[in-house]
Structure 1
Amino acid sequence: MALKLLHGLLGSIESDIADNEDQEKTLALRSIPIHRVGTRENLFLDADREMTMLLALVCFALVFSAQEWRAGIYGTVLWFTGLYLLRKAAKYDAKLRHVYLRHIRYARYYPARSTPFRVNTPNQGRQYR
Protein backbone atom coordinates (compact mmCIF):
# COMPACT_ATOMS: atom_id res chain seq x y z
CA MET A 1 0.00 0.00 0.00
CA ALA A 2 2.74 2.43 0.98
CA LEU A 3 4.64 1.44 -2.13
CA LYS A 4 1.66 2.29 -4.35
CA LEU A 5 1.28 5.65 -2.58
CA LEU A 6 4.98 6.42 -3.01
CA HIS A 7 4.84 5.42 -6.66
CA GLY A 8 1.80 7.65 -7.17
CA LEU A 9 3.58 10.64 -5.56
CA LEU A 10 6.72 10.12 -7.65
CA GLY A 11 4.64 9.80 -10.80
CA SER A 12 2.81 13.07 -10.10
CA ILE A 13 6.11 14.86 -9.36
CA GLU A 14 7.59 13.57 -12.63
CA SER A 15 4.54 14.74 -14.57
CA ASP A 16 4.79 18.18 -12.90
CA ILE A 17 8.45 18.42 -13.93
CA ALA A 18 7.55 17.45 -17.50
CA ASP A 19 4.76 20.07 -17.54
CA ASN A 20 7.22 22.75 -16.34
CA GLU A 21 9.71 21.78 -19.06
CA ASP A 22 6.95 22.10 -21.66
CA GLN A 23 6.02 25.53 -20.32
CA GLU A 24 9.66 26.65 -20.43
CA LYS A 25 9.87 25.58 -24.04
CA THR A 26 6.78 27.56 -24.96
CA LEU A 27 7.76 30.62 -22.90
CA ALA A 28 11.33 30.85 -24.18
CA LEU A 29 12.34 34.32 -25.31
CA ARG A 30 12.60 34.82 -29.02
CA SER A 31 15.97 36.07 -30.18
CA ILE A 32 16.15 38.45 -33.10
CA PRO A 33 19.51 39.05 -34.76
CA ILE A 34 20.69 42.65 -34.98
CA HIS A 35 22.79 43.07 -38.08
CA ARG A 36 25.94 45.18 -37.95
CA VAL A 37 25.10 47.03 -41.13
CA GLY A 38 22.14 48.69 -39.42
CA THR A 39 24.04 49.84 -36.36
CA ARG A 40 27.53 50.73 -37.64
CA GLU A 41 28.67 54.28 -38.11
CA ASN A 42 28.92 55.67 -41.62
CA LEU A 43 32.69 55.76 -42.07
CA PHE A 44 34.78 56.29 -45.21
CA LEU A 45 38.51 55.43 -45.08
CA ASP A 46 37.98 54.74 -41.33
CA ALA A 47 37.02 58.37 -40.66
CA ASP A 48 33.80 60.36 -40.54
CA ARG A 49 32.36 60.25 -44.05
CA GLU A 50 31.34 63.91 -44.42
CA MET A 51 34.58 65.24 -42.96
CA THR A 52 36.67 62.96 -45.19
CA MET A 53 34.79 64.09 -48.28
CA LEU A 54 35.23 67.75 -47.28
CA LEU A 55 38.95 67.22 -46.71
CA ALA A 56 39.29 65.54 -50.11
CA LEU A 57 37.45 68.43 -51.78
CA VAL A 58 39.70 71.04 -50.13
CA CYS A 59 42.89 69.16 -51.00
CA PHE A 60 41.72 68.57 -54.57
CA ALA A 61 40.84 72.25 -54.99
CA LEU A 62 44.20 73.33 -53.55
CA VAL A 63 46.24 71.06 -55.82
CA PHE A 64 44.38 71.58 -59.08
CA SER A 65 43.57 75.26 -58.74
CA ALA A 66 47.19 76.33 -58.20
CA GLN A 67 48.76 73.73 -60.52
CA GLU A 68 52.20 74.06 -58.97
CA TRP A 69 54.54 71.53 -57.38
CA ARG A 70 54.46 73.41 -54.10
CA ALA A 71 50.64 73.36 -53.99
CA GLY A 72 50.72 69.65 -54.82
CA ILE A 73 53.06 68.96 -51.94
CA TYR A 74 50.98 71.07 -49.53
CA GLY A 75 47.78 69.37 -50.68
CA THR A 76 49.29 65.90 -50.22
CA VAL A 77 50.64 66.74 -46.76
CA LEU A 78 47.29 68.28 -45.81
CA TRP A 79 45.46 65.15 -47.05
CA PHE A 80 47.56 62.66 -45.09
CA THR A 81 47.72 64.79 -41.94
CA GLY A 82 43.99 65.53 -42.00
CA LEU A 83 43.08 61.90 -42.68
CA TYR A 84 45.31 60.77 -39.82
CA LEU A 85 43.60 63.19 -37.42
CA LEU A 86 40.12 62.27 -38.64
CA ARG A 87 40.90 58.57 -38.16
CA LYS A 88 42.13 59.20 -34.61
CA ALA A 89 38.95 61.15 -33.85
CA ALA A 90 36.75 58.40 -35.31
CA LYS A 91 38.63 55.76 -33.35
CA TYR A 92 38.05 57.72 -30.15
CA ASP A 93 34.35 58.26 -30.89
CA ALA A 94 32.69 57.83 -34.26
CA LYS A 95 30.06 60.45 -33.36
CA LEU A 96 32.56 63.02 -32.13
CA ARG A 97 31.52 65.56 -34.77
CA HIS A 98 27.85 65.28 -33.81
CA VAL A 99 28.66 65.63 -30.10
CA TYR A 100 30.73 68.76 -30.77
CA LEU A 101 28.02 70.35 -32.94
CA ARG A 102 25.44 69.72 -30.20
CA HIS A 103 27.84 71.09 -27.58
CA ILE A 104 28.32 74.45 -29.32
CA ARG A 105 24.54 74.92 -29.58
CA TYR A 106 24.13 74.84 -25.80
CA ALA A 107 23.84 78.13 -23.99
CA ARG A 108 26.57 79.13 -21.61
CA TYR A 109 24.14 79.47 -18.71
CA TYR A 110 20.65 78.11 -18.08
CA PRO A 111 18.94 79.97 -15.23
CA ALA A 112 17.00 77.96 -12.68
CA ARG A 113 13.28 78.40 -13.20
CA SER A 114 10.30 76.93 -11.45
CA THR A 115 8.39 76.66 -14.73
CA PRO A 116 9.30 77.17 -18.38
CA PHE A 117 7.15 80.33 -18.39
CA ARG A 118 9.06 82.17 -15.62
CA VAL A 119 11.05 85.14 -16.89
CA ASN A 120 14.16 86.02 -14.92
CA THR A 121 15.28 89.61 -14.64
CA PRO A 122 18.66 90.60 -16.15
CA ASN A 123 20.15 91.00 -12.66
CA GLN A 124 19.38 87.38 -11.83
CA GLY A 125 21.23 86.16 -14.91
CA ARG A 126 24.27 88.40 -14.41
CA GLN A 127 25.08 87.12 -10.93
CA TYR A 128 26.15 83.73 -12.31
CA ARG A 129 28.57 84.95 -15.02
Structure 2
Amino acid sequence: MVNINPLFRPNVPKSAGDIHNRINEISFNSSLLRELRAIHFVHELISENRVEGMRDVLVHMVADDDFMRDLSVATKIVPSPVILSRLKAAGRAAAERFLAAHKQDLNLRGSVDLAEMFG
Protein backbone atom coordinates (compact mmCIF):
# COMPACT_ATOMS: atom_id res chain seq x y z
CA MET A 1 0.00 0.00 0.00
CA VAL A 2 1.06 3.59 -0.52
CA ASN A 3 0.29 5.77 2.46
CA ILE A 4 -0.71 9.33 1.55
CA ASN A 5 -1.46 10.60 5.05
CA PRO A 6 0.77 10.31 8.09
CA LEU A 7 -0.55 7.73 10.53
CA PHE A 8 0.89 9.55 13.52
CA ARG A 9 1.85 13.12 14.31
CA PRO A 10 4.23 14.00 17.13
CA ASN A 11 2.42 17.22 18.08
CA VAL A 12 -1.17 18.12 18.90
CA PRO A 13 -2.65 20.50 16.31
CA LYS A 14 -3.60 23.86 17.77
CA SER A 15 -4.74 26.16 14.95
CA ALA A 16 -8.13 25.74 13.28
CA GLY A 17 -6.46 24.82 9.98
CA ASP A 18 -4.18 22.25 11.59
CA ILE A 19 -7.10 20.72 13.52
CA HIS A 20 -9.18 20.53 10.34
CA ASN A 21 -6.27 18.91 8.49
CA ARG A 22 -5.78 16.33 11.26
CA ILE A 23 -9.51 15.52 11.31
CA ASN A 24 -9.31 14.83 7.57
CA GLU A 25 -6.23 12.63 8.06
CA ILE A 26 -7.86 10.67 10.88
CA SER A 27 -11.06 10.21 8.86
CA PHE A 28 -9.11 8.94 5.86
CA ASN A 29 -6.82 6.74 7.94
CA SER A 30 -9.63 5.16 9.98
CA SER A 31 -10.63 2.87 7.09
CA LEU A 32 -7.02 1.95 6.44
CA LEU A 33 -6.37 1.18 10.11
CA ARG A 34 -9.58 -0.86 10.37
CA GLU A 35 -8.47 -3.00 7.41
CA LEU A 36 -4.97 -3.42 8.85
CA ARG A 37 -6.45 -4.48 12.22
CA ALA A 38 -8.59 -7.07 10.42
CA ILE A 39 -5.53 -8.39 8.58
CA HIS A 40 -3.63 -8.54 11.88
CA PHE A 41 -6.52 -10.48 13.46
CA VAL A 42 -6.51 -13.00 10.62
CA HIS A 43 -2.69 -13.29 10.89
CA GLU A 44 -3.15 -14.27 14.54
CA LEU A 45 -5.85 -16.83 13.69
CA ILE A 46 -3.63 -18.39 11.02
CA SER A 47 -0.57 -18.50 13.30
CA GLU A 48 -2.65 -20.22 16.01
CA ASN A 49 -4.00 -22.77 13.46
CA ARG A 50 -7.55 -21.66 14.25
CA VAL A 51 -8.57 -21.34 10.60
CA GLU A 52 -7.88 -23.62 7.66
CA GLY A 53 -7.48 -22.84 4.01
CA MET A 54 -6.35 -19.26 4.49
CA ARG A 55 -3.00 -17.78 3.59
CA ASP A 56 -1.29 -14.84 5.20
CA VAL A 57 -1.56 -11.52 3.43
CA LEU A 58 1.86 -9.93 3.05
CA VAL A 59 1.55 -6.25 3.91
CA HIS A 60 4.03 -3.68 2.65
CA MET A 61 3.83 0.08 3.00
CA VAL A 62 5.56 2.79 1.02
CA ALA A 63 5.35 6.05 2.94
CA ASP A 64 7.06 9.35 3.56
CA ASP A 65 5.27 10.66 6.63
CA ASP A 66 7.71 13.54 7.11
CA PHE A 67 7.01 14.85 3.60
CA MET A 68 3.26 14.33 3.90
CA ARG A 69 3.10 16.05 7.31
CA ASP A 70 4.41 19.22 5.70
CA LEU A 71 1.59 19.38 3.15
CA SER A 72 -1.57 21.26 3.99
CA VAL A 73 -5.05 19.92 3.36
CA ALA A 74 -5.35 22.42 0.49
CA THR A 75 -2.72 20.52 -1.51
CA LYS A 76 -4.86 17.39 -1.27
CA ILE A 77 -8.04 19.12 -2.41
CA VAL A 78 -6.66 21.24 -5.26
CA PRO A 79 -3.25 19.88 -6.25
CA SER A 80 -1.20 22.15 -8.47
CA PRO A 81 1.29 20.93 -11.09
CA VAL A 82 4.11 21.97 -8.74
CA ILE A 83 2.65 19.90 -5.88
CA LEU A 84 2.04 16.93 -8.19
CA SER A 85 5.66 17.11 -9.31
CA ARG A 86 6.86 17.21 -5.69
CA LEU A 87 4.58 14.27 -4.83
CA LYS A 88 5.93 12.27 -7.76
CA ALA A 89 9.54 12.93 -6.73
CA ALA A 90 8.80 12.13 -3.07
CA GLY A 91 6.98 8.94 -4.10
CA ARG A 92 9.88 7.77 -6.24
CA ALA A 93 12.33 8.47 -3.41
CA ALA A 94 10.10 6.64 -0.91
CA ALA A 95 9.77 3.66 -3.28
CA GLU A 96 13.54 3.53 -3.75
CA ARG A 97 14.07 3.58 0.03
CA PHE A 98 11.42 0.88 0.45
CA LEU A 99 13.00 -1.36 -2.19
CA ALA A 100 16.49 -0.87 -0.75
CA ALA A 101 15.21 -1.95 2.66
CA HIS A 102 12.65 -4.62 1.72
CA LYS A 103 13.19 -5.93 -1.81
CA GLN A 104 14.33 -9.27 -0.38
CA ASP A 105 11.04 -9.52 1.58
CA LEU A 106 8.71 -9.26 -1.42
CA ASN A 107 6.59 -12.39 -1.86
CA LEU A 108 8.21 -13.93 1.25
CA ARG A 109 7.13 -11.85 4.25
CA GLY A 110 5.42 -8.56 4.97
CA SER A 111 7.46 -5.51 5.84
CA VAL A 112 4.84 -3.95 8.12
CA ASP A 113 4.88 -5.19 11.71
CA LEU A 114 1.14 -5.37 12.37
CA ALA A 115 1.72 -6.90 15.82
CA GLU A 116 3.71 -3.81 16.77
CA MET A 117 1.03 -1.51 15.36
CA PHE A 118 -1.93 -3.24 16.99
CA GLY A 119 -0.54 -5.83 19.41
Structure 1 length normalisation: TM-score? 0.28
Structure showing greater radius of gyration is: 1
Higher share in helix? 1
Structure 2 length normalisation: TM-score? 0.29
